[in-house]
Structure 1
Amino acid sequence: MDILESSSDDEDELYLEASALLGEKAAEKEKEAQSDVKLPYNGPPLKYPKSVFFIVTNEFCERFCFYGMRTILALYLVQYLNYNEDNATVVYHAFVSFCYLTPLIGAVIADSWLGRFKTILILSLVYAIGSVSISLSAIPNFIPPEAFTYLGLILIGFGTGGIKPCVSAFGGDQFVVPEQERQLQQFFSIFYFAVNGGSLVSTFLTPILREDVKCFERDDCYSLAFGVPAILMVVSIIIFVAGKPMYKSKKPGGNVMLEVCKCIGHGIKMRFTNKDVKKEHWLEHAEGKYSRKLIDDIKLALNVLVMFIPLLLFWALFDQQGSRWTFQATRMSGDIGAWNIKPDQMQVINPLLIIILIPVFEATVYPLFKKLNILQKPLTKMTFGGMLAAVAFVLSALVELSIKPTEAIVPTAGEAQLRIFNTFNCPMVISAQDNGVTIGEFEIEPLKAYENLYLAAQGNKLFNLNIRRGATCDQSLADVTAPVEIREGTAQSYAIHDGINSTPTIKLSGRIIDDPEKSRNGNGKIKIIINSANTGEKRVVFNGKIDYEFKTFTGEAAVSDLLEMDVDDYTIFLNGEEIGTTTVVAGGVYTYVINENTKAFVRRLVTPENSVNMLWLIPQYFVITAGEVMFSITGLEFAFTQAPLTMKSVIVAGWYLSVAFGNFFVIIIAEVKFVSDQMWEFVLFAVLMAVSMVIFWLMSLKYKYVTIATEDSNDDMAMEKKKSVDNDAFEDHKD
C-alpha cells in the first residue's frame, strides 16, 4: 500500500521526515559522485540492525506519554486549575503551537552541533522532567500547581518538538542504502505502528485513570493520569540509552535549513543593493555566492510553501478536537448502555475512522472520482477536503444548538436567581411586595421549590418574604415575614423549615449560594438540604459503584456542600437508614430536599441533565476525518512531488509552521471573542475555513505543476516516487 494513504499528524510528519532523510542521502550520493567512484555492493545481505528495535520501543513509550498527557490536558486546566473554557483553549493551543515550532530548533541543534543521538538524549531528559513536573503539579497542596503546569508544558513542548525531526531520521541512519532499501521501508512501517500503538492506548487509557481512580481525597486522579505517561517517558530514555552500543551515529554535517535561510537572506540583500540589475526572480540575485542548483531548488520549494499559507485554517479546525470539541462532549451524555463514554475519550474516534476510511477511499471513492473525471488534481482534492472540514464545524454548530436547551442558566448583570425550598411535609404559601420585588402568591408543595431565574437586581437587594401555612398544615403554625437578600449575578436559595422546638414554627434559613453550572467532566452535581429533627450530626451516603458521603453537617436546616458524583444509580442512606433510590445523570445539577422526620425526599433539578448523546458527535468526526484524508494526505503528495529531494527538510519546516500558526489562530479567536456564543464560534470557523479554501482554489488555478527528476528510478528515490512505504504506516492522526 502507499505511504501517502494516511493522515496522522505524526505519520504525516514522519513521512516528510523520511523524505527529508532520503533527500539527505541524495545529497550524499551527489557528493560521492563528485569524488571517488564507489563500486556497487555485491556482498551477502546485510543483517537487519538490532539497534532500531530500541528506537521503535522508545518511540512507543514517548508517544504514549505525549498523547496521554495531551488527551486530558484541556479538562485538567478547567477542572483542576479552574480555568474557564476560553482560557483553557488558549493554553491548550499555545502548547500545541509551541510543539510545532520547536522541531526547527531540534533539527538545527542535531544537524549543526550535537548530532541526533545526543540531541534525542538531552531533549528527552528535558521532556521527562516536564512530564514529571506536570504530574507533581496535580498533587493537591504539594507544589504551586499553575507554575509547575506551565513549566511542565514548556519543557514537554521543547522536548517532544525537539526530538520530533530526529528520532525517525536516527532510525533511518541505522540502515545502509541501497543495500537495505527494503529493510528501511519496513522500519518506517514498524515505526508508524509504534506511534499508533502508543497514542491509541494512551488516548483510551488516560481518561480512565483520570476519572475512575480516586486519590488525594478528590473524585479524580490527574496525578496518576499524568504520572503513568511520565513513567513511560522515563522508560523510553532507559531503553534508548540501552541501545547505544549498537547505534550508528553520524557526525553533524550542517543543516540545509540554515543554508536555505542564508541564501534567501543574501538574495534579498542583493536585490535591494543592486536595484538596477534585472533578474527573472529576486532569488537569482544570490547567484555567485550560492550555486545555481541550490537557488533553483529553493525557488521550487518556495512555490510549494506559498501554497501552504491558506492551509493553516485547516489545522485551526482540526486540532480543536482536543479543546472545543472535548468541552462540547462534557455537555453531552456518554451513556451507551453498560458503558459510559468519557468526554476526552471521544478523541480516539479520529484514528479509528482513519483506519476505516483510508481503504474505503482507495478502493471506492477515488476510483469513482476518476470514473466521473472529478477532483483529479491534488490541489482540487485538497480544496474539497478543506471544505469538508468547514462542513464538520457546521455540524458541530448544529450539535451545539441541540445542546442549548440543556445548558445551565447563569445569572447575568442586572439579574439574580432565587429559589425557595419547602422542607415541610405540607404546603407553604409565599408572597412578596417590597423594595421593587414582587412575588405573587405561590404555593410550594411539600419538599418542592419556588424558582425565579431572572429576578431583577442591581447590587444587593433586601426585601421581606411573607410565608404562611398551607391548608393541610398544622393549624398552630403562625404566619411569618422573613428578610431575604439577593445579589446581582448570583444564584441563591433559602429553605423554609420548622426549627427545633417543642412547638413547630415556620422559619427561613440563611442564604444558600447555588452553582447552576454543569460539571466540567460530564458528571452530576448534588446538594442536600435537610429539615432536621434535631441539631445533631447528619450523615448522608449515596451508595453506588462508588460510595459518596456528604460531609457531616448539623443545624435546623442542614445544608451540604455541592458534591460532584459519577453517573450511576444510587441508594440513599440517612444516618445509616435507607430512605430511597435515585439516579444521577450526566450534566444534571440537583438539590435533594430531605425531611428527617418523615424520611421522605424530593430531587429538585436545578440545571437540566445532558440529554444529547455523545454519539451525535460521530458525524462531525466522520466528516473532518474524510476531509483530512483528502486534504492532509494529498497535501503531502503535492509537497513531495513538487519540491526537490534536497529541499524535503524545508517542506517539513513549512508543514510544522502551518500547524503552529493554525493553532495560534485559534488562540486569537478565543482571546478576542468575536462571538460569545459557542455555536456561532463554530459557524465563524466554518466560514473562515470556506473562505480560505476559496482563496486556495483561486491560487491553485494559477499554479503550474512541475515534474521533479530523481537521481535514479531504480534506487531508493524510486521508493518515494512509487510511494511504497506500507499503508499500515498510517492509522493514527494526532499531534
Structure 2
Amino acid sequence: AGSLLSTLITPVLRAQECGIHTQQQCYPLAFGVPAALMVISLVVFISGSGMYIKTDPEGNIMWSVCKCIGTFDSSVHRVKWQTNLYLMKSSLTLSLLCQTVNPILILTLVPIMDRLIFPLIQKCGLNFSPLKRMTVGMLFAAMAFVSAALVQIEIDKTLPNFPSSSESQLKVVNIYNRTLNVTISPNEHLLIDSFESSADYVTLDHQNITVSLNTNPVIIKAFSLIKGGRQTLIIPSDPTIMYMQEDIKSKPNEGKHAIRFVNGWTADLNITNLDSIEPSAASNYTLVSHGKHDFVLRHGEQWCEFSRKFGFGASYTFLIPSTCASIREVVDMKPNSVHMALQIPQYFLITTGEVMFSVTGLQFSYSQVQQQHTSPVTSPALRTLLQRKEKNQIEQGLEPEEKEKETLEIEEIHESQNIDQEVKQTKI
C-alpha cells in the first residue's frame, strides 16, 4: 500500500512548479516529502523499541553464515534467485504512470494466490512445494521479458529513421504557386505540388549539394548540409531566395510537440505566442503540450483562427497560404502510436512471478533457516531492492539534463536561423 501511494503521489508532487528565480518542476518537493516521511517512520520505529522481542545473540553469527554459504544451503540459492529477479525487474524502463500497476497488482494477487490459487492446487492433489512455486515464478518473470521485447519491437517500428553521423537528411517544402520539379545532385528528382512537401526526408551521404528548379529560367543554387542533422529546403513564392531551415533530430520530451509556421502571405504575420513572421519566412520551433490548441493569425485588421488537436511526441510544419481555410500540415516527425496499455501484460507477468517467487521465498527462508540466520538471508534481497530504487532516482534525476539538452538544441536552431535570416536580408 505504501509503494502504491508513493508511486501515485510522487509524480504529482514533481509536476508542481516551484522555484525562486525560475519556475520549474519541483524535484525538491518530490524528494523532500518521502525523506520527511522516512524520518517520521524512523522515529516511530525507535519509539517502539521497548515493545520488541529481543533475542540475545548466541555464538558467532558471522561464522555460522559463512558455514551456511560454504555448504550451498538452499536458502543461499533462494537469495541468488531473488537477487536475479530484482535485477531483471530493475531493467524494465517504464513510465511513471504505468509504475502504479505493479503495486496495485501485488495488493490484488497476494490474497488471490494465498486464499484461492494455492489451496485449489492442493485440493487437486498436486505437490506445489515452495521450490516449485519459485521455479514457476521465474518462468513468469521470463515471459514478462518476452512481452517487453515484443512491445519494444512495435515501438521501434514507429521511430523515425534518423541520419548517422556521416549522413544528412533533407525535406523540400514548396510554397511557390505551381508544381515544381526539384533536382538534388547527383540523382534525386522530386515532383512537389504547390503548398506541399516531399513525401519524406531524403538521406544523403554527401554534404555539398546543388538544387535546380524547372522554372523559367531554371534556378540553380548550391547548399551545404549538416552532417548528422535534418534540414528542410523551403521554396518561397520567389524561388530565387529558397533557403534551408534546420529541423530537430530527436523526439520532444514529455510527449510534447515541436511546431513551426511558414508564412505564405505577402505581409508580416503575427501568430499567438509566436514572434512576427516575415513573408516567405519560417517561425522558430515552439513546444506545445497534448490536446487542442487554438492559434490566431493576424495582420493589421485581418485575422483568422486555426485549431489543431495534438497527440503525443510529434513535429509539424504548418504552411500558411493566403487564406486560413487551407492551411497545409507537413508531418516532420510522426506522433507516438503505441498505446501505453500494451505494457500492462508484462506488468501482470512480472508481478505474478514476484508474488510466486519473492513472497514464497521469504516464507521459505523463515521456515527453513535457523532464527538467527533470517536477517542475513533476507538482507541481500533488501539491498538489491535499495539499489533498484537508487537507479530509478538517478534516472529521474537525469531527466532535467535531457530537457535542458533539448532546450539548448532548439535554441541553437533558433540562433542559426536568425543568423541566416539576417544574412538573407543583407543580400537582399
TM-score over 0.5 (shorter chain): yes
Q: Report the CA distance between 1:384 and its aligned residue.
A: 0.7
Identify the residue that residue 197 of structure 2 maps to in structure 1. 449
Q: How does 1:416-431 map to 2 (within 5 A)?
A: 416-424=168-176, 426-431=177-182
Cα distance in 1 for partners of 2:276, 2:196 equals 21
Q: 1:372 to 1:239 in 2, by over 3 A?
A: closer
From 381, 402, 420, give the equivalent of 1:655. Answer: 381
Cα distance in 1 for partners of 2:59, 2:202 equals 62
Q: Report the CA distance between 1:236 and its aligned residue.
A: 5.9
1:486 and 2:229 are equivalent in the alignment: no
**SS in structure 1 of the partner of residue 330 of structure 2:** strand
Q: 1:300–1:643: 8 Å Cα contact kept in structure 2? A: no
Q: 2:295–2:305: 8 Å Cα contact kept in structure 1? A: yes
**Structure 1 gap segments, 5+ residues each:** 1-195, 266-282, 284-296, 327-342, 470-476, 499-504, 542-548, 667-735
From 227, 232, 242, give the equivalent of 2:29. Answer: 227
- Provide TM-score, normalisation by structure 2: 0.77
Cα distance in 2 for partners of 1:612, 1:591 equals 23
Q: 1:479–1:506: 8 Å Cα contact kept in structure 2? A: no
Q: 1:661 to 1:416 in 2, by over 3 A?
A: same
Q: 1:307 to 1:370 in 2, by over 3 A?
A: same
1:261 and 2:7 are equivalent in the alignment: no
1:204 and 2:11 are equivalent in the alignment: no
Q: 1:638 to 1:240 in 2, by over 3 A?
A: closer
**SS in structure 1 of the partner of residue 168 of structure 2:** strand
**Structure 2 gap segments, 5+ residues each:** 393-428
Q: Report the CA distance between 1:463 and its aligned residue.
A: 2.0
Q: 2:362–2:378: 8 Å Cα contact kept in structure 1? A: no
1:404 and 2:156 are equivalent in the alignment: yes
Identical aligned pairs, as a percentage? Answer: 21
Identify the residue that residue 626 of structure 1 maps to in structure 2. 352
Q: 1:300–1:644: 8 Å Cα contact kept in structure 2? A: no
Q: 1:316–1:665: 8 Å Cα contact kept in structure 2? A: no
The RMSD of aligned alpha carbons is: 3.8
Q: How does 1:368-517 map to 2 (within 5 A)?
A: 368-374=120-126, 376-424=128-176, 426-432=177-183, 434=185, 437-440=186-189, 442-458=190-206, 461-468=207-214, 479-498=218-237, 505-517=238-250
Cα distance in 2 for partners of 1:216, 1:406 equals 40
Q: 1:641 to 1:648 in 2, by over 3 A?
A: same
Cα distance in 1 for partners of 2:36, 2:388 equals 31
1:540 and 2:271 are equivalent in the alignment: yes
Amino acid at match of 2:248: D
Amino acid at match of 2:192: I
Cα distance in 1 for partners of 2:50, 2:192 equals 80
Q: Deviations over 1:459-501 (max 9, x none)?
A: xx222211245xxxxxxx8542222222332211121113xxx
Q: 1:462–1:484: 8 Å Cα contact kept in structure 2? A: yes
Q: 1:523–1:567: 8 Å Cα contact kept in structure 2? A: yes
- Provide TM-score, normalisation by structure 1: 0.47
Query: Paired residues, what number?
Result: 386
Cα distance in 2 for partners of 1:260, 1:647 equals 8
1:578 and 2:301 are equivalent in the alignment: no
Q: 1:245 to 1:623 in 2, by over 3 A?
A: closer
Q: 1:593–1:604: 8 Å Cα contact kept in structure 2? A: yes
1:312 and 2:83 are equivalent in the alignment: yes
Q: 1:376 to 1:234 in 2, by over 3 A?
A: closer
Q: How does 1:93-112 map to 2 (within 5 A)?
A: none
- Structure scoring higher RCO (CA < 8 A, sep ≥ 6) equals 1
**SS in structure 1 of the partner of residue 201 of structure 2:** strand
Q: Deviations over 1:52-77 (max 9, x none)?
A: xxxxxxxxxxxxxxxxxxxxxxxxxx
**SS in structure 2 of the partner of residue 488 of structure 1:** coil
Q: Deviations over 1:262-290 (max 9, x none)?
A: 6677xxxxxxxxxxxxxxxxx4xxxxxxx
Amino acid at match of 1:540: I
Q: Report the CA distance between 1:347 and its aligned residue.
A: 0.4
Amino acid at match of 1:305: V
Cα distance in 1 for partners of 2:153, 2:336 equals 13
Q: Which has the higher helix share?
A: 1
Identify the residue that residue 404 of structure 2 maps to in structure 1. none
Q: Which has the higher strand share?
A: 2
Q: 1:482 to 1:217 in 2, by over 3 A?
A: farther
Q: Deviations over 1:384-407 (max 9, x none)?
A: 111101101111111222223321
Cα distance in 2 for partners of 1:209, 1:298 equals 44
Amino acid at match of 1:650: P
Q: Report the CA distance between 1:617 and its aligned residue.
A: 1.4
Amino acid at match of 1:598: T
Q: Report the CA distance between 1:572 and its aligned residue.
A: 1.9
Cα distance in 1 for partners of 2:164, 2:5 equals 43
Q: Report the CA distance between 1:376 and its aligned residue.
A: 1.1
Q: How does 1:169-180 map to 2 (within 5 A)?
A: none
Q: Deviations over 1:661-703 (max 9, x none)?
A: 889999xxxxxxxxxxxxxxxxxxxxxxxxxxxxxxxxxxxxx
Cα distance in 1 for partners of 2:112, 2:77 equals 31
Q: 1:422 to 1:259 in 2, by over 3 A?
A: farther
From 341, 362, 372, give the equivalent of 1:646. Answer: 372
Identify the residue that residue 6 of structure 1 maps to in structure 2. none
Identify the residue that residue 338 of structure 1 maps to in structure 2. none
Identify the residue that residue 118 of structure 1 maps to in structure 2. none
